[in-house]
Structure 1
Amino acid sequence: MKPAAVLAALAVVAATLAACGSTEPATPAPVAASATPPSSASAVDRPAARAGLGGPSPSPRPSARPAPAGNPDGAAAVPAEARAVDTSRPTRRIGTGTPASCTSAAVVKAVAAGGIITFDCGPDPVTITMTATAKVRNANGPKVVLDGGGRVTLSGQGKRRILYMNTCDQAQGWTTSHCQNQDHPQLTVQNLTFADGNSTGEEAEGGGGGAVFVRGGRLKIVNSRFVRNRCDRTGPDLGGAAVRVLSQYENKPVYVVNSTFTGGSCSNGGALSSIGVSWVVLNSVLRDNEAIGSGANPARAGTPGGGSGGAIYCDGNEFTVRIAGTVIEGNDANEGGGAVFFVSNNRTGTMRIENSTLRRNPSRGFETRGYPGIFFLGARNPTVTSSRLS
């Protein structure tokens, strides 16, 4: 990528980040949300595994796994492209059958090498303490899959971000002349827990993404948990205690499937945050997350800004959000959208809520009349079917 092209691409991103929508608490005319009782409350060829990160070993003895992530009563259909990736023939394994063999260095090395990655840490649940952030190399892949098998937790110890991918980061390699809109790498995290990630002080690309930060390519999250993650406490547009996403390929959605987000805290977006990115959230749970900034966006005079989207914060121009079979409860926003903050600057964006429950998500500053826990500016009012908002 030529320097002039790079500067042009980054200038476009900077302009996008600066063009965030106003969050003044003016609300649309009252509408009656459709609120009916919900049904629930609450192949590619792959090379053989490579040596050096822990090779093949006998199948471990059966052991009890943690309860599945997500909403067990969620019944939203999951499209094929949103399902877990087949990891029965991994490219590489982390570990050689014992907890001690599963190290931060092994995770960092495997993620940089790319491919289909699994863990061999023994039969019992294990926590890997990350002493460095695992970073995707853009030339490796094109698919990068990290599968914890339901037994692995990656912990940032409250000190660092856990996982990072950025197609426009020169340090990770440029692979196209249009880094902000390329179809690879395609990152999937599945059957994995991310705990105590913290991106506080990270300034690249505007910060955010306490556990996972992604810009470019594609991201998919399946059967995973995000617990007690953090990002900066203030900032008008900074967000995503668990996950921050920018510039997905051709505005294809980030899929979040059968996953749980709890205890996240950030200026905005106590769980998820994005600019100009579409989301499909299926059969998941977002609970007890918080947006703790103050002053909204743009920041009111005398304030640092932030405080919107207790669970989900979405800003930008044309994008969509679909929430189905999902429970969003107990989240809190100092400003707008205790559950969801959605601002489409050019008023083209749309949101659908289907067979879901949104409850007890206080918006302490402002929200859209008739939609408890939601602040929305878009093409039209959110479409709500077979769901309960309270």
Structure 2
Amino acid sequence: MKSVVTLLVLGVATATLPACGGQASGRQPVTVSATGTAGATAPAAAAQPTGAPGARSGLGGPGKSASPKPSPSSGTVLKAGNPNGRATVPAEARAVDTSRPTRTIGTGTPASCTSDAVVKAVAAGGIITFDCGPAPVTIRMKATAKVRNANGPKIVLDGGGKVTLSGGGDRRILYMNTCDGAQGWTTSHCQNQDHPQLTLQNLTFADGNSTGDRTEGGGGGAIFVRGGRVKVVNSRFVDNRCDRTGPDLGGAALRVLSQYDNKPVYVVNSTFTGGVCANGAALSSIGVSWVVLNSVLSGNRAVGDGANPARAGTPGGGSGGAIYCDGNEFTVRIAGTIVENNHANEGGGAIFFVSNNRTGTMKIENSNLRRNPSDAFETRGLPGIFFLGARPPAITGSKLT
């Protein structure tokens, strides 16, 4: 990301990327209620390359119905996402039908739902549900559950709204990597294959921690994914962690490094709170497209110091309080979503978006981005956002304050 350091230096010299940490509350809101862009744009937006990729279809689509939910009498059921979000959810982004599971974790009691059972079920693949009794249950993971690349091609993990998988503050919860030989190579092009297709739904992921794990550059406190496809539906991510310093690692909740044919990661009706990492304290990726629908990202903190590339004498990081996206050809769409009270020590208190070859594009639709301070730099006219891409973000029906 050599281009960014040049731009940051220019920004300091020309005040096009003003420091903003103590001024956030004094800004005027940016509101766009019709198709268009908001405010002024980053210096690089003057370049207008064409051919940015669209978000393509895939991921195999859902079954005939959503996963069954527990009845209200069976205990507190998970509530996630933005209940007021009205973004249309495409068929391929919806919950998968798990009424006929391949395997079930547990035999009806909390004691039967163990870390070992989760690890074995995830390795075996297929459609996986839980039977842990009528009340909500937390399963503290004693080892990271790892996807075996030959098992699937679909792997669905459905907590029924009552299951929390906890890293206990000690470890990453879930790992998938098509290029990790230890999980089995299944094609000659591991960096771009259409399987496994991982769906995570009706679950809570809490207290995951990948600190010190530098596999593929690190990050992914709760979940790490490289390759295949992944989507998250009706799930919560709470108080996850990854390394506090580093110029490019991130994703306290979810780190994704590649997806088949640049098809998007779908995040639907989900909530991300309390994440802490060097960058991207909720979501982080390199060269990956995202579609975030009817979700909430709140209270996440990018705590690194020195940006990317790291300034002399610093360890680097501190960008993307909630979302950190780097790379070349990728897109981000955020719709029906609340992004609030996130913080970045460096740039992009809400969102850090850098497309190095200026082909990347971003859309924000019917969403609220508020109180997301960036202590060092952000794009003028876009509170909480640092953006370098093909053209200014397309913002419709949204408020940025």
| TM-score of the two chains, using structure 2 as the length reference | 0.85
In the superposition, relative to structure 1, how do residues 20 and 140 fare at CA in structure 2: closer, same or farther (>3 Å)?
Answer: farther
Task: Report what 2:188 is aligned to.
Answer: 177
The question of 1:119 aligning with 2:103 is answered no
Which of the numbers 213, 216, 227 marks the counterpart of 1:205?
216
Q: How does 1:248-327 map to 2 (within 5 A)?
A: 248-327=259-338
Q: Percent identity?
A: 78
Q: How does 1:169-248 map to 2 (within 5 A)?
A: 169-248=180-259
The question of 1:140 aligning with 2:137 is answered no
Q: Which amino acid aligns with 2:8?
A: E
Shift of 1:216: 0.1
In the superposition, relative to structure 1, how do residues 28 and 333 fare at CA in structure 2: closer, same or farther (>3 Å)?
Answer: closer
Task: Report what 1:6 is aligned to.
Answer: none
The question of 1:129 aligning with 2:153 is answered no
Shift of 1:306: 0.1
Q: Which amino acid aligns with 1:288?
A: G
Q: Secondary structure at the match of 1:189?
A: strand
Please give the alpha-carbon distance, in whole angstroms, between the structure 1 residues aligned to 2:228 and 2:242. 23
Please report the RMSD computed on the Cα atoms of aligned residues, expressed in angstroms: 2.1
Q: Which amino acid aligns with 1:370?
A: G
Please give the alpha-carbon distance, in whole angstroms, between the structure 2 residues aligned to 1:119 and 1:78. 25
Task: Report what 1:83 is aligned to.
Answer: 94
Q: Which amino acid aligns with 2:147?
A: V
Shift of 1:247: 1.1
Q: Secondary structure at the match of 1:174?
A: coil
Higher relative contact order (CA 8 A, sep 6+): 2
Shift of 1:161: 0.1
Q: Which amino acid aligns with 2:136?
A: P
Please give the alpha-carbon distance, in whole angstroms, between the structure 1 residues aligned to 2:189 and 2:383. 40
Task: Report what 1:24 is aligned to.
Answer: 8
Contact 1:19–1:316 (CA under 8 A) maintained in structure 2: no
Task: Report what 2:384 is aligned to.
Answer: 373
Shift of 1:272: 0.2
Q: How does 1:134-173 map to 2 (within 5 A)?
A: 134-173=145-184
Please give the alpha-carbon distance, in whole angstroms, between the structure 1 residues aligned to 2:62 and 2:89. 24
Please give the alpha-carbon distance, in whole angstroms, between the structure 1 residues aligned to 2:231 and 2:2. 26
Please give the alpha-carbon distance, in whole angstroms, between the structure 2 residues aligned to 1:86 and 1:204. 33
Shift of 1:28: 8.1
In the superposition, relative to structure 1, how do residues 61 and 316 fare at CA in structure 2: closer, same or farther (>3 Å)?
Answer: closer
Q: What whole-Å deviation, never above 9, does each CA across 1:230-266 have from its counterpart, x for those lacking one?
A: 0000000010000000110000000000000000000
List alignment gaps of at least 5 residues for structure 1: 1-17, 38-42, 47-58
Shift of 1:126: 0.1
Contact 2:268–2:295 (CA under 8 A) maintained in structure 1: yes
Contact 2:227–2:260 (CA under 8 A) maintained in structure 1: yes
Please give the alpha-carbon distance, in whole angstroms, between the structure 1 residues aligned to 2:277 and 2:173. 16
Shift of 1:192: 0.1
The question of 1:35 aligning with 2:32 is answered yes
In the superposition, relative to structure 1, how do residues 19 and 91 fare at CA in structure 2: closer, same or farther (>3 Å)?
Answer: farther
Q: What whole-Å deviation, never above 9, does each CA across 1:120-140 have from its counterpart, x for those lacking one?
A: 000100000000000000000
Contact 1:277–1:320 (CA under 8 A) maintained in structure 2: yes
Task: Report what 1:343 is aligned to.
Answer: 354
Q: Secondary structure at the match of 2:118?
A: helix
Q: Which amino acid aligns with 1:280?
A: V
Q: Which amino acid aligns with 1:64?
A: G
Q: Which amino acid aligns with 2:205?
A: F
Q: Which amino acid aligns with 2:334?
A: I
Stretches of 4+ aligned residues off by more than 2 angstroms: 18-23, 25-29, 32-37, 43-46, 59-62, 64-67
Please give the alpha-carbon distance, in whole angstroms, between the structure 2 residues aligned to 1:372 and 1:45. 36
Q: Secondary structure at the match of 1:180?
A: helix
Q: Which amino acid aligns with 1:160?
A: R
Please give the alpha-carbon distance, in whole angstroms, between the structure 2 residues aligned to 1:93 and 1:19. 48
Q: Secondary structure at the match of 1:261?
A: strand
In the superposition, relative to structure 1, how do residues 101 and 67 fare at CA in structure 2: closer, same or farther (>3 Å)?
Answer: closer
Number of residue pairs aligned between Structure 1 and Structure 2: 354
Please give the alpha-carbon distance, in whole angstroms, between the structure 1 residues aligned to 2:204 and 2:376. 32
Contact 1:210–1:241 (CA under 8 A) maintained in structure 2: yes
Q: Secondary structure at the match of 1:274?
A: strand
